[in-house]
Amino acid sequence: MLQNFFQHRHFFGKDIYIVDDHHKALAPWALIRRDLDRAPNLITIDHHTDTHEAFLGHAHLKTMDSGGDAWELARSFVKRIDCRDDQSLAWAIEHLRHDEHIDAATISGVLNYAFCIQLSDSGGNPSTEQQAYDADRQARWPQPPTLLPPLRPMTYADPANHVFVISHDCAIGCTRMPHNDDCVVEHGNMIIESIYLNDQLARGAEMSRFVGLAHLEVQPYILDIDLDAFHSRRAIEPADPSTFYRLIRNAEAITVATEAECVDELKFDDEPIDAEMLLDRLMTHIESAVSAGRAAETQ
């Protein structure tokens, strides 16, 4: 029954699961989880953060009719998810709304920690220092804050939902002040360049070390890619794909959300791209990454 939610491809021992709507990825995540002795982490590359509270949309509808606490009801729905029970997963997928799937998976134990590389929230999970700075600035307004803006590396709490949204500044090397529309294009075009992913993984490691992970690749992980992270031809054709290829090679499995409508909405002006073309290109990258790894092993 779960097989109805995705298309499965297999290449050189690498499992690739393709879904049209991102929340259906919960099905392959659960299947991958079943084959491991512990819940894998998730490294996701997406335009959005996809970190809404699981089932809150559905719970709001329910409590509107019958009263009660929507948050509590939403949490009780998450508790029903059992990664070994197809029916509970199918129910979950049918009742999750946009952007609620990561929270559903981490809270229910299908995933351990999730790390989101994304383009829509520059701040990401705020550090302890950033929260103190923001509180000080707000308390003293309109006087200047007494604290200096914090510098990396910073301190991070273990998030209750096990989801780390990784921060970003702009395109690597951007010196424009203020950042402008050209920045958005430069930044988007860099999404899977090694120089950009290396910076994102370093930021992720600053966060993950507070939950006992020296870096994001030390424990089994699923690489999850939403095609709406790619806004141009340039974005899907990195000049240096080595870090992206390493993430592909070392992943337990790969999930891809095609999200064709989001791709159309988010692509840069006049870019002749669509989900079909991006998927095709991504599959070629996956084949190159995996077969290059194979060739290196047999030498």
Residues binding Zn ion (CB under 5 A) = 170, 174, 176, 179, 183
Q: What's the min distance (Å) between Cβ of 182 and Zn ion?
A: 8
Q: What's the min distance (Å) between Cβ of 166 and Zn ion?
A: 17
Q: What's the min distance (Å) between Cβ of 177 and Zn ion?
A: 8
Residue 253, phi then psi, degrees to nearest 5:
-165, 170
Q: What's the min distance (Å) between Cβ of 206 and Zn ion?
A: 21
Q: What's the min distance (Å) between Cβ of 171 and Zn ion?
A: 6
Q: What's the min distance (Å) between Cβ of 175 and Zn ion?
A: 8
- Residue number, 132 or 172, with CB nearest to Zn ion: 172
Long-range contact pairs involving 32-37 (C-beta distance under 8 Å, separation at least 24): 32/222, 32/252, 32/253, 33/83, 33/110, 33/111, 34/83, 34/84, 36/220, 36/252
Q: What's the min distance (Å) between Cβ of 183 and Zn ion?
A: 3
Q: Name the E strands within 152-219.
A: 163-165
The DSSP annotation for 195-212 comes to HHHHHHHHHHHHHHGGGT
Report the residue closest to Zn ion, judged by CB: 183
Q: What does DSSP say about strands 14-19 and 253-257: parallel, antiparallel, or unpaired?
A: parallel
Q: Residue 171 carries which DSSP code?
A: S
- Residue number, 41 or 118, with CB nearest to Zn ion: 118
Q: Residue 12 carries which DSSP code?
A: T
Interior angle at CA 110, CA 125 and CA 26, nearest 5? 90
Q: Are 41 and 216 in contact (CB under 8 A)?
A: yes
- Residue number, 174 or 277, with CB nearest to Zn ion: 174
- Residue number, 132 or 170, with CB nearest to Zn ion: 170
- Residue number, 170 or 211, with CB nearest to Zn ion: 170
| Helices within 209-270 (DSSP H only) | 233-236, 242-250, 260-266
Q: What's the min distance (Å) between Cβ of 123 and Zn ion?
A: 15
Euclidean distance between CA atoms 170 and 179, whole angstroms: 8
- Residue number, 173 or 272, with CB nearest to Zn ion: 173
- Residue number, 162 or 203, with CB nearest to Zn ion: 203
Q: Are 49 and 72 in contact (CB under 8 A)?
A: no
- Per-residue burial over 254-286, b if 16 or more Cβ lie within 10 Å, else e, is bbbbbbbebbeebbbeebebebeebbebbbebb
- Residue number, 177 or 296, with CB nearest to Zn ion: 177
Residue 258, phi then psi, degrees to nearest 5:
-80, -35
